[in-house]
Amino acid sequence: MLYTEILSGVWIGDVDIMYSNKFLEDNFITIIINCTVTRKFPDNSNTQNIRIPLTNNLYQSIHVLKQNKQKILSFIDRAIETDNILIICEDGIIASPFIISLYLVNYGGIEVGNIRSIIQSKNQAISMDFDIGLLDL
């Protein structure tokens, strides 16, 4: 299982961490943002569940991102003060880091050129294997 706290109360990870009741309870996760197309949410969690249907090929998902970017980011921004959020994707190294990177660029004022090093400073296993230019959606 791969998971990393990027901001206080905001975690990214792979699909397996979403099924860990211990992780969800220990970290008071109240919102799961599932960035997969088909993976089911855990049956027994008391979380608000949101799906952003992305594949690990972000170019294939670009239309979903463009159409929903502002809605996704403003939801995270509203929830970040009161909820603990887990953003997951298949491997925890592409789609979920991309979503939190979008948030940091748009709401945190982080420059696109610095985002890779900032995310990787939290966990070197996060490859950020996507075109950083996509953050300029």
On whether the CB atoms of residues 18 and 137 are closer than 8 A, the answer is no
Task: Report the pLDDT value the prediction gives residue 80, as an integer from 0 to 100.
Answer: 96
Q: Which domain holds residue 10?
A: 3-136
d(CA 19, CA 23): 8
How many domains is the chain built from? 1
Per-residue pLDDT of the chain in tens (137 residues, 90 and over written 9): 889 999 999 999 999 999 999 999 999 999 999 999 999 999 876 899 999 998 878 778 888 888 899 999 999 999 999 999 999 999 998 899 999 999 999 999 999 999 999 999 999 988 777 777 778 77
Task: Report the pLDDT value the prediction gives residue 56, as an integer from 0 to 100.
Answer: 75
- Please report, for the domain that includes residue 107, its CATH number: 3.90.190.10
For residue 92, give every residue at least 6 positions away whose Cβ sits within 8 Å of its Cβ, in sequence order, or none: 2, 3, 4, 12, 13, 14, 15, 17, 126
Task: Report the pLDDT value the prediction gives residue 130, as an integer from 0 to 100.
Answer: 78
d(CA 35, CA 53): 5
Task: Report the pLDDT value the prediction gives residue 57, as an integer from 0 to 100.
Answer: 80
pTM: 0.93
